[in-house]
Structure 1
Amino acid sequence: MKNLIKYIVLIPVLFFSAACEDEFLERMPLDSPSSETFFENETELEMAVTGVYNRLWYWPAGIAWFLSFDFASDDGWDRNGSALQALGRGEQNADNGFTNGFWSHFYRAINRTNFITSRGSHLRDEMDPAKYDRLVGEARFIRAYFYAYLAELYGDVPLVTSTLTLEESQTPRAPKAEVIDFVMSELNEIKAYLPMDAGEKGRITQGTVLALMSRVALWNERWEAAAAAAKELMDSGTYSVDPDYEGMFTFEGDNSPEVITRIQYLRGVQTHNMPRNFWSRMALGHSNKKPPQDFVDTYDCIDGLPIDESPLYDPQSPFENRDPRLDYTLVVPGSRLVNWIYETHSDSTMTWEFQGEDSVRVPNIEAQHAYASFTGYLYRKHVDVANYPTDVGSTDQNLTIFRLGEVLLNYAEAKVELNQIDESVYEAINSLRQRESVQMPPIAAGKSQEEMRNLVRKERRHELGIEGFRYFDIRRWGIAEDLIPGPYRGRVNRYGEGGWLNEPPMIDPIGTPSYDHISNADEMVVVETRDFNPNRDYLWPIPRIELETNTALTQNPGY
């Protein structure tokens, strides 16, 4: 992908040179390539495909688009007072900038692919056909990828697969099932055009296609298709579980055996500011995005039992003896973040700073700062400490969008829903739980379908935490109406005595905590109160501007 990116930089040079020719000056626009002459050669096709790839660089509300959804789920909150925060509160409408932005962005990317497929087919006879099929296949993948998200977010959406004239622009919504049929058909066709290993980081591969097939089929309860796609990827032997869970989400993750595809960034072309959004004030961050207490409490103890059942759990030392993925995913009080011990209680006016092999006591900004984490916790995943201090606001760390861990859990869930719970299902889950850096107890055989369904749902929250899946999971399981409404809580008030819950919360079979019985639950920070209307909020609103310009569209119920 980073080789592809160079064409973005070259485009202005190429067209400036062409403008020096008299014929070009007479017939073509000076500030852009002409749609009538574009796709003259292989280089222009490569540039056009790169233009589709760069639509993956989308940052609504200051967060990578594919991660942003989780900040409207029960696992995340956005402090910025943005349209994303309104979505989390259930206050979105047809003018919401966050939901409207996705519609616009996805269709712009789709239009770029439609332009390629509509205008570039003649090049297949003028260049290596295999290379043509691969390049166009990559663009078609991204079109299918975005259609899958459009259908999941908005339901029925216009299915446009070629460039439209003005007269054709009044396009009605296609049924969601028809859109998903298109997505699965596209993926099945382009799979043959792509290598399993591209040899060039960031490119779409067969592995990427199979991973998306398993995801889309799972989201739409096409269990057999989900299991088959996942199994094909698993059996390919191309990917394996990475022993280093935390390392997958750092710079080193580029070479992880588990990572299938990452969005590529390049200094001087495109960077991002994830460290600024996630990290503490002492680490030069703004802690804009914050996890709740119940995300912390969902993680089991190292004996495999939830915190309300495990004898290893101590409410006064709540982070000891816990699933290591808790510390790999979140920054909790008492843990190290960059060069400091992270503390958030008001009594912690001093903290430890690591200076080489030594540590010294220094003033603790997090204890009193008005914009320190309201909940007492931060996110650690996706951000490498190597970004400190120079790249906190502008890093070229690549971000993972597909990895084997998700595919294994897609496979397990699909097989459970088919009630085909065999050894391969346990192996898929346990290979993740028992990776070298995690070492959680294996799930024992002999579970019922309902028990396995709960275990898989819980495992997805732990293994895939803040990777952009939770929002879709709780919606497709039909439980968002149970989990989102009510207070979004942080730790016991950092200005109160102690700072910890007196008792462990009660944990349900899918890992959801309840604080109803806890004697000091009223001391927990309430960041905001959320709502979720089950008669409306399982779908996003169609943007008002789209309804006004395309009168063939209809609005979703409740908006």
Structure 2
Amino acid sequence: MKQNHLFRIPSFVLLLLILISCEDFIEVEVPNNQLIQEVVFDSDDTAQSAMIGIYNQLFLAEFANGHFSSVTVLSGLSGDIIENHKNYPSRIQFEDHQLEPSNPENLYIWSSAYNVVYMTNSMLEGLLESKNLSPALKQQLEGEARFIRAFSYFYLANLYGDVPLLLTTDYNENRLASRDPVADVYLQIIEDLEISRELLSTDYRDGERTQVNTTAATALLARVHLYLENWEQAEALSTMIIETTMQYELLNDLDEVFLANSREAILQITPLGGGGYMTQTNEGFNFIIDPVIYFMAAFKLNNEFPEAFDKNDKRLLNWIGFHEGENAFFPYKYKIFTSNSFPITEYSMVLRLAEQYLIRAEARAKMGNLVGSIEDLDVIRDRAGLPLLAETDPGINQENLLDLIFEERRKELFAEWGHRWFDLKRSGRAEEVFGPEETWQSADLLYPIPEEERMKNPNLSQNPGY
């Protein structure tokens, strides 16, 4: 297995990354880095190193890294699957839907996502001004940077609704930016992903599935169109990926799905972004309740969640663990709790093929193609070892089929990138699930704009209910 030591970046590139990685960049003036930028974009090697720095940042940025303040954890808590195993006050707010604008974890999501946006804007500006890069590499790096910007804005839009749409590193333009309508943010996401698809190739630039290719851009775009209820586009895009059988496949062994460069992976994040000192994923470290140091466990699964599975479901058997002493179930998609050895065997999953089958199943069901939808859903069910719907209930109606699709999404994508929380929000099912809670109100569907950001920028309005 190929291992690239991505943390070995030239010192002047690190300087550039320091200059452009101020988390509160909307409010705090950044130093002039024009000279550094000229050096970085003077050659193919240094430009590629700068792009590697952005990939590394995805492992360091709180919203993306799978750690305590990530979308995977915090939006997982907002859903109905993951619970706090320790009473950590700021994270309890996410589980109880009682988020306060001063919540520090909420600030970490916002600021880290915008930090990545800023870095991609800096990359795109540097590429535009560069005269010395080879045309092919210039095109490739632009496609990668546009994807990562779109990826960051996807989560900002789904967590906060209207957000500032910042497409420059200009401090004067950014520091007092107001919120743009979420529809405009989505238009920019689509534009970036469409351009990314045109610029990138189907190959992975370094052979590792930790760098963006056109399939990754297509996969995220399929999800975007699903969320926007553009069913035909979602179906067409997911079909393109599903038919790429030479490069991707659903793996029969569920314990192989989350391995580094698995054939189910469309995009992953390597732990090498953290410097290579620890080589486990943050998801493995966060979610596994270790047999020895179980007292460190911060999260667990809702006890009712494992009961929803058929007893023969491979996802129950392979992806859910149980610690008898703590009397707690836990996500067990990643098997390594802690490691500092090489080669690295697990990467954090960002996009994978199974989601594309579920996207197409939902889009087809919405368009009335129930037979095609059942076929896609049965691919997922068959891999899980479940009876095929085409045999057990071929005449299922549209409403019940959609319910089953969302249930399969719940079981397939749990503990991954807040999928369950976003599914409840976009489908209107959140009220049904959380309505009985005394603390629930519809305003909880959006997180608050962080108080610290609004103190620095008076043009940032607040979401209703906060």
One of 428, 444, 457 as aligned partner of 1:550: 457
- Give 1:524-535 correspondences, 5 Å limit: 531-534=439-442
Are the aligned partners of 1:7 and 1:50 in contact in 2 as well (CA < 8 Å)? Answer: no
Q: 1:256 to 1:530 in 2, by over 3 A?
A: farther
Query: Of the two, which has the highest radius of gyration?
Result: 1
1:241 pairs with 2:241: no
Residues 131-170 of structure 1 mapped to structure 2, 5 A cutoff = 131-166=137-172, 168-170=174-176
| 1:433 counterpart SS class | helix
Question: What does residue range 324-363 of structure 1 map to in structure 2 within 5 Å?
Answer: 324-332=314-322, 342-343=323-324
Asked if 1:440 is matched to 2:386, the reply is yes
| Residue 148 of structure 1, CA deviation | 0.7
- Whether 1:428 aligns to 2:428 is no
Aligned residue among 26, 48, 54 for 1:52: 54
State the SS of the aligned residue for 2:444.
Answer: coil
Instruction: Report if aligned partners of 2:58, 2:269 keep a CA contact under 8 Å in 1.
Output: yes
Deviations 1:19-61 (A, max 9, x none): xxxxxxxxxx9x9973565422223322221222122113469
Q: Secondary structure at the match of 1:548?
A: helix
Please give the root-mean-square deviation of Cα atoms over the aligned residues, in Å: 2.9
Whole-angstrom distance in 2 between the partners of 1:136 and 1:428: 34
Question: CA 1:137–1:545 in 2, change beyond 3 Å: closer, same or farther?
Answer: same
Q: How far apart are residue 167 of structure 1 and its match? A: 5.3
Classify 1:324/1:160 alpha carbon distance in 2 versus 1 (closer, same or farther; 3 Å). same
SS at match of 1:239: coil
Letter paired with 2:318: Y
Q: Measured at CA, do residues 42 and 329 of structure 1 come closer, stay the same or move farther in structure 2, by a change above 3 Å?
A: same
CA distance in 1, matches of 2:229, 2:313: 30
C-alpha displacement of 1:153: 0.6
- Residue 358 of structure 2 corresponds to 409
Give 1:294's match in structure 2, choosing from 283, 298, 304: 304
> Which residue matches 1:277?
286
Q: Could you say what secondary structure the match of 1:261 adopts?
A: strand
Match of 1:537 in 2: 444
Cα deviation, 1:207-247, whole Å, max 9, x if unaligned, reads 11111111122222222222121111112323111111222
2:411 corresponds to 1:454: no
Which residue type is aligned with residue 533 of structure 1? Answer: Q
Deviation, structure 1 residue 7: 4.2
- Relative to structure 1, the CA distance from residue 283 to residue 64 in structure 2 (aligned partners, 3 Å threshold; closer, same or farther) is farther
Q: Which residue of 2 aligns with 1:11?
A: 11
In the other structure, the counterpart of 2:420 is 470
TM-superposed CA distance for 1:78, in Å, is 2.2
Q: Give the aligned residue type for 2:400.
A: E
Mark the runs of 5 or more structure 2 residues left unpaired by the alignment: 17-30
The separation in 1 between residues aligned to 2:186 and 2:14, in whole angstroms, is 39
Query: Which SS does the other structure have where 2:370 is aligned?
Result: coil
Corresponding letter in the other structure for 1:40 = D
What one-letter code is carried by the residue in structure 1 that aligns with 2:6?
A: I
The reply on whether 1:379 has 2:331 as its aligned counterpart is yes
For residue 200 of structure 1, report the CA deviation from its aligned partner: 2.8
How has the CA–CA distance of structure 1 residues 553 and 66 changed in structure 2, closer, same or farther, with 3 Å as cutoff?
closer
Distance 1:268 1:185 in 2: 35
Question: 2:282 & 2:216 partners in 1: Cα distance?
Answer: 25
Greater strand share, structure number: 1
In the alignment, is residue 222 of structure 1 matched against residue 230 of structure 2? yes
| TM-score normalised according to structure 2 size | 0.85
CA distance in structure 2 between the partners assigned to 1:144 and 1:458 by the alignment: 28
Confirm or deny: 8 A CA contact 1:291 1:378 kept in the other structure: yes
Matched position secondary structure for 2:268: strand
Contact 1:223 1:415 in 2 (8 A): yes
Matches within 5 A, 1:19-34: 34=36
What's the secondary structure of 2:349's corresponding residue? Answer: strand
1:116 aligned to which of 118, 123, 144: 123
CA distance in structure 2 between the partners assigned to 1:219 and 1:153 by the alignment: 13
Q: Report runs of 4+ in structure 1 exceeding 6 Å deviation.
A: 13-16
Paired with 2:161 and 2:348, the residues of 1 have a C-alpha distance of 27
User: Would the alpha carbon gap of residues 118 and 107 (structure 1) be closer, same or farther in structure 2, given more than 3 Å must change?
Assistant: same
Change (3 A) 1:431 1:5: same
Distance in 2 separating the partners of 1:247 and 1:82: 35
Corresponding residue for residue 215 of structure 2: 207
